[in-house]
Amino acid sequence: MPVSASRAASISDPVHVVMVKAPQGIEERLREAMEPLRKVQGFVSAAVTRRDGLVIHHTFPSARAAAGLSAMAAAMVGASRAAGAELGIGLPTYGFIYFEDGILLIQDAGPQAILACLLELGANIGYVITRISRISDQVREALEDL
């Protein structure tokens, strides 16, 4: 994926956050694709991440939060893909995890990316999955141009 990396951490911060910066036209397409998520009841934030966990685009208030979620989402998808192969049941398409204070929904977004969304506990998962599936397709199409 021909993208450049930019650092979003202060010098005094011992942990550096690395984000993959998509080219300008693709960055705009990702922003437009993810904008409808903000209108979904219960939506908190989302990130598009590479399969290695590097952030491509996010709606989080901080790059650090996006980086943490992206790394964990990539690890979960990697483990799920390995489990699917081991069990002979194919590749995962999406998954969600209920936590005490929220929901994490992860959806495949093509061969190079993952869409991870944080939701409030009361979110309508069925509705969110349909919206995220459409957005995931748009993310996949935007990244195909790389």
pLDDT under 50 in the chain at which residues? 1-12, 14-15
Q: Which two tokens stand for residue 133?
A: 């599936």
Q: Which domain holds residue 49?
A: 4-144
Question: What pLDDT was estimated at residue 3?
Answer: 35
Distances (CA, A) of 12 to 5, 16, 81: 20, 10, 37
Place of tokens 């397409």: 29
Burial 7-28 (b: 16+ CB within 10 A, else e): eeeeeeeeeebebbebeeebee
pLDDT digits (tens, 9 = 90+) for 73-107: 999 999 999 999 999 999 998 999 999 999 999 99
CATH code of residue 76: 3.30.450.30
How many structural domains comprise the chain? 1
- Residue 146 to residue 53: CA distance in whole angstroms: 18
Q: What is the pTM of this model?
A: 0.81
